[in-house]
Structure 1
Amino acid sequence: MSPQRFDTADEDPGVPLSPNTGGINAGSASAPRTAGARGRAPKRPPFGSYMEAQLQREFKVACVVAGIEMQDGLDQAVRLWLAHQQEQHDGAASLLADEPTSERAS
């Protein structure tokens, strides 16, 4: 079996090569950054936590499909969770406010 032959620019001097002047982007460097309110990426302190592996995979896929970074998805999730907690707290507080004082004491 003879070795496979590949055509290269060295073998055909009529084909000019152009340099890559744009650099190489990989990983998060290739993804567009989400701009903050002032048009620049928001500065966030690091935050670490643990979750089930399957939940993390689902979250990662959902962020990729949505075209957002995981930190932005986590930010949205925490904000929604906090708003939900506040709504539940407000609802419970209003129920207590509607009860007569004598019923709360017992």
Structure 2
Amino acid sequence: MARCAENVADIYFKTSRNKSTQLIFCDTSVPKPGFNIYDELKDRLIMLGVPECQVAFIHSANTEGKRASLFAKVRKGTVRILIGSTFKLGLGVNIQNKLI
């Protein structure tokens, strides 16, 4: 987990000029109360200096409108790190504009 966060943060800062985006696929857990991998990873990224507003969970986009809004933010580079499961991020997600 720590190494993943360090790698993602390193890429985040190295690609800030272009506002490049990253997807993190996590099938181990889902965002939920108590300990979970999603929140732990986000917390580590924030501790490493990534602004909280630049990290999002696909699971929070639980309507078509929210999903469209989130995808637009990723395409623009407003949200630069998107975390989600293979199921939720793997199909019908056309956000490759700034992906590295």
Do the structures match in fold with TM over 0.5?
no
- Structure number with the higher strand fraction is 2
- Structure number with the higher helix fraction is 2
Name the TM-score, length of structure 1 as normaliser: 0.23
Bigger radius of gyration: 1
Name the TM-score, length of structure 2 as normaliser: 0.24
Q: Which has the higher contact order (CA 8 A, sep 6+)?
A: 2
